Homo-oligomer: A and B are copies of this chain.
């Protein structure tokens, strides 16, 4: 008997222990979400603050008894409209306000028309109106442009129209109700927008800008990681020790985030150095090219993960320095582009230098291949194939890096990024190559945003 009860106690304490451990892990995970982005904690506090403000206003409604029951619409508005970014909040507030106004007016019209049809006809006519309007409006939500900008507005439009049309109230009553409803929505919406604007605002535009810059930086980190890999020929490390093989993965899937940020950014007023008509669409352009480049890096990363430790042939030893150079210089170019973007300045001329260097390395590689082909040799094609693929994809990557540079320059020009001072003059040395010397001088002297013309 005693042993059983001791066992029972043990099982019980074990159960409590695992439960406690589980809770601890969950709590840690939850805490990490806030640590990863402290703005989330701030956002939660802001929502609580806005809601408390409006709630108390509603609680003391005897003071403002013009509003009455409609006061709850202010609370509803705050809960539904307050988004993480300023753009999101403004977009939803304006959508809600505009749609309520429009639908209210239409609803009054429908009510008036239905009234003309007599007591029997009224519900039928109203039913038809509600049906047609709801069906047509719901259909418009499938139009991409409407979905992007006015999805929430259409929802509120259907809602308000139905409520007004079937309220069965007299038109004078409806006017009174509309006045109440609109003022409370205004109070709710304005509270949200003000709180979201004035207390540590989160700008979707800035987030989009930073996301693209950081995606470019991630590609740069991958490429620089690869270059160390090519240098370290007989690498015995496990691929788990190579974090740069994974860096680009998040870039591959960032399309949805970029698009939603660009949509919200469109609604935001001028802030910091982002003007009202900042070219948000161009960010999506850059993002698209960055993703294509990430696709190439995915293949490179696959090549490296699959490569086995093997004897390195003479040919491979010869082309490895070029591969290291291409990868390193592309990485450096992207890093400079990312830094310039982060600082909202036009990428400096050293970006072009890095590109020229990487192209020089590509030319060198082609020379080596040419020499190798013309000299009598016994190349084991199968053995050198992986190296050739890596080389070829690196050459493709140069092209994409160039496209990224051009698209960022276009963005910098349209968005009026500031000119950088030519701090880098003479610091970055081109690969020693007679043909390129002249080019370098030309580019160091350029002071306008440069497409890379080589």
0 or 1 for each of A159-199: is its CB under 8 Å from B? (1 = yes): 10011011010000000000000000000000000000000
- Contact present for B379 and A366 (CB under 8 Å): no
- Contact present for B55 and A166 (CB under 8 Å): yes
Main secondary structure of the interface of A (DSSP, over half): helix
| Nearest CB of chain B from residue A210's CB, rounded to whole Å | 18
- Contact present for B392 and A163 (CB under 8 Å): no
- A interface residues with partner B (beta carbon < 8 Å): 29-30, 33-34, 40-41, 43-45, 47-49, 51-52, 55-56, 58-60, 69, 72, 75-76, 79-80, 123, 126-127, 130-136, 138-140, 142-143, 155, 158-159, 162-163, 165-166, 168, 252-253, 255-256, 291-292, 295-296, 298-299, 302, 366, 369-370, 372-374, 376, 378-382, 385-386, 388-389, 391-393, 396
Residues of chain B with a CB closer than 8 A to A295's CB: 252, 295, 298-299
Separation of A438 and B171 alpha carbons in the complex (Å):
86
Residues of chain B with a CB closer than 8 A to A302's CB: 396
The answer, among B59, B253, B372, for a CB contact under 8 Å with A168, is: B59
- Contact present for A41 and B139 (CB under 8 Å): yes
Residues of chain B with a CB closer than 8 A to A127's CB: 52, 55-56
| Residues A369 and B388 in contact in the complex (CB < 8 Å), given A76-B159, A299-B393 | no
Residues of chain B with a CB closer than 8 A to A162's CB: 51, 55, 75, 79
| Nearest CB of chain B from residue A131's CB, rounded to whole Å | 4
- Contact present for A59 and B386 (CB under 8 Å): no
Residues of chain B with a CB closer than 8 A to A142's CB: 33-34, 40
**Chain B: which residue is nearest A257 at the CB level?**
B256
Residues of chain B with a CB closer than 8 A to A143's CB: 29-30, 33
Q: What is the total number of copies of this protein in its complex?
A: 2
| Nearest CB of chain B from residue A248's CB, rounded to whole Å | 11
Separation of A252 and B294 alpha carbons in the complex (Å):
12
- Contact present for B135 and A45 (CB under 8 Å): yes
**Chain B: which residue is nearest A41 at the CB level?**
B139
Residues of chain B with a CB closer than 8 A to A392's CB: 385-386, 388-389
Separation of A30 and B145 alpha carbons in the complex (Å):
11
| Nearest CB of chain B from residue A269's CB, rounded to whole Å | 24
| Residues A48 and B389 in contact in the complex (CB < 8 Å), given A75-B162, A373-B379 | no
- Contact present for A59 and B381 (CB under 8 Å): no
